[in-house]
């Protein structure tokens, strides 16, 4: 595996200078068009593979795996000419007589390490940005979704030469071998714990990084919220992909005055969405038995410490129905660990300031959701918290907006992706300053009386 990894990296490294000359707008658009065609041609194979890996429904595969990639391709292709165009910058007083521009250039050879929860879209989505920016890339799919990993490898091999895009399959050893190489940029999606390992490895070669991590994304329901709308969005955002979504609502703070009614409409919404029980064709499975056991242990720990089950979902192997729990306390494991499954804690509150205090005592989440009609309360929550993104009266949809940056803050991520932000993540913004008739040589040494007077005059204007 190390030999394969080194060979792929060497082939792409040798082509860096050539790509700078020959991989322009036309070639990048053509590469994206070939990728789009391959995705369409492999749609049935992708649906079957993701179903085999963890039983995701066909409609959900199309909605959350295939459409995001196709949207990224379409958006990048339409806007690539503008993104690539050098950007002129106005001169400052100190640089009068010069012209300035910023040129977006490919970083070089990039590594994309994809997670298992959305194994296709989180591998191919960053690839779109890497290619749009003019890079080559090596993709490392997750070994926890082997069927999808195999389809990605076949798809990429059918479209691109290995000196432009390659796929390296394998487990931890493959990841370690890749991280030991001096990539120009590393794009990682996964847990904060593994993100620290990736960043540590990148530091050894001074590779730049984009880290899409996670965290416990909170949801706040105000006393005036549209509860039926909140229930629809929360049920979808939380239980799609069986809760295995980095921006899924992790827990819900609901105002005590509407808690009872909210629980009623939420249970009704869950029943409408997944009403055929544990074998519902609309419900994905937990990815493997290890993660299913982790979720069962979280639930067992919470119940043992006083949590109450409001809606008990059945559990059979890796199948787990939506589960609602209450009476959460800080000493429970579920209060600190990202749930990443179909268990939703419901926490009542009276004072929004108490909620904000609890949120700010925790690491900054990847997403925050607010359901409220009051603009004043919504603005207060946003102004007094920090998160990668905010959804107001909706959940998870911010991920699909190609005009918005997608990324976290500190423990929930570094950098941003999607659309132009993804293009910039995989680009070096090179500053170019050209002299025409700059007067700065007048203040070069020796520092005569005239030079000192000119420096004093500049200081008056600039200092």
CA gap 308, 341 in Å, rounded: 18
Domain 2-213+411-430 has CATH 3.40.605.10: yes
Q: What angle do CA 215, 216, 221 make, to 5 degrees?
A: 145
Instruction: Give the integer Cα–Cα distance in Å for 185 and 426.
Output: 7
Phi then psi dihedrals of residue 324, to 5 deg: -110, 135
25 — phi, psi (to 5°)?
-55, -50
pLDDT given for residue 401 in this prediction: 95
What pLDDT, on the 0 to 100 scale, is given for residue 457? 87
Q: Tell me the domain boundaries of the chain.
A: 2-213+411-430, 218-407
Q: What is the pLDDT of residue 1?
A: 55
Catalytic: 429?
no
Q: What is the CA radius of gyration of the chain?
A: 25
Q: What is the pLDDT of residue 279?
A: 80
Residue 368, beta-bridge partner list:
390
139 pairs with which residues across the strands? 112, 167
Catalytic residue among 60, 65, 110, 246: 246
Right CATH number for 218-407 from 3.40.309.10, 3.90.1860.10, 3.40.1350.10, 3.30.420.10? 3.40.309.10
Catalytic-residue membership of 110:
no
The stretches in the chain having pLDDT less than 50 are: none
Residues whose CB is less than 8 angstroms from the CB of residue 38 and which lie 6 or more positions away in sequence, other chains included: 155, 158, 159
2-213+411-430 matches 218-407 in fold: no
Determine contact, residues 389/404, Cβ cutoff 8 Å. yes
Tokens, residue 458: 């500049």
Which of 60, 65, 72, 212 is an active site residue?
212
Instruction: Look at residue 462 in the predicted model and tell me its pLDDT.
Output: 78
Answer whether the bond into residue 277 is a cis peptide, omega within 30°.
no
Q: How far apart are CA 122 and CA 155, in angstroms?
A: 15
Tell me what pLDDT residue 276 has: 66
Tell me the CA distances in angstroms from 298 to 201, 305, 345, one per residue in order.
31, 11, 11
Query: Do the Cβ atoms of 77 and 33 come closer than 8 Å?
Result: yes
DSSP of 359-418: HHTSPPPSEEEEE-S-HHHHHHHHHT---SEEEES-SSGGGG-TTS-B--SGGGEES-BS
């Amino acid at each position: 595996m190390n030999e394969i990894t080194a060979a792929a990296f060497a082939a792409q490294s040798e082509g860096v200078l050539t790509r700078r000359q020959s991989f322009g707008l036309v070639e990048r658009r053509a590469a994206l068009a070939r990728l789009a065609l391959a995705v369409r041609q492999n749609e049935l194979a992708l649906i079957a593979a993701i179903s085999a890996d963890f039983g995701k429904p066909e409609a959900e595969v199309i909605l959350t795996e295939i459409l995001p990639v196709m949207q990224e391709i379409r958006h990048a292709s339409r806007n690539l000419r503008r993104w690539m165009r050098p950007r002129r910058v106005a001169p400052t007083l100190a640089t009068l007589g010069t012209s300035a521009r910023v040129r977006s250039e490919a970083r070089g050879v990039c590594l994309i390490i994809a997670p298992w929860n959305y194994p296709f879209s989180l591998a191919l989505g960053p690839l779109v940005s890497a290619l749009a920016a003019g890079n080559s890339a090596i993709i490392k799919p997750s070994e926890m979704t082997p069927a999808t990993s195999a389809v990605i490898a076949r798809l990429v091999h059918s479209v691109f030469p290995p000196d432009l895009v390659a796929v390296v399959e394998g487990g931890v050893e493959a990841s370690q071998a890749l991280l030991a190489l001096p990539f120009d940029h590393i794009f990682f999606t996964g847990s904060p714990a593994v993100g620290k390992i990736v960043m540590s490895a990148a530091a050894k070669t001074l590779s730049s990084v984009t880290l899409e991590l996670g965290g416990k994304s909170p949801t706040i329901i105000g006393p005036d919220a549209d509860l039926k709308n909140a229930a629809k969005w929360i049920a979808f955002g939380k239980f799609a992909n069986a809760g295995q979504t980095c921006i899924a609502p992790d827990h819900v703070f609901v105002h005590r005055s509407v808690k009872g009614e909210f629980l009623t409409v939420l249970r009704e919404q869950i029943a409408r969405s997944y009403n055929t029980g544990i074998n519902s064709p609309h419900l994905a499975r937990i990815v493997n038995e290890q993660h299913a056991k982790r979720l069962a242990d979280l639930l067992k720990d919470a119940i043992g410490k006083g949590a109450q089950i409001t809606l008990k979902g059945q559990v059979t192997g890796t199948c787990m129905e939506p589960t609602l729990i209450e009476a959460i306390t800080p000493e429970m494991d579920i209060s600190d660990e990202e749930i990443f499954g179909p268990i939703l804690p419901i926490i009542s509150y009276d004072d929004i300031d108490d909620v904000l205090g609890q949120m700010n005592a925790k690491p900054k989440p990847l997403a925050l959701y607010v359901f409220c009609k009051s603009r004043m309360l919504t603005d207060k929550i946003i102004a007094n918290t920090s998160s990668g993104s905010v959804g107001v009266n909706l959940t998870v949809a911010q991920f699909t907006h190609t005009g918005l940056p997608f990324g976290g803050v500190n423990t929930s991520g570094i950098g941003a992706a999607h659309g132009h932000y993804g293009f910039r993540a995989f680009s070096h913004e090179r500053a170019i300053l050209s002299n025409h008739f700059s007067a700065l040589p007048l203040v070069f040494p020796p520092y005569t009386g005239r030079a000192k007077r000119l420096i004093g005059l500049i200081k008056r204007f600039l200092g």
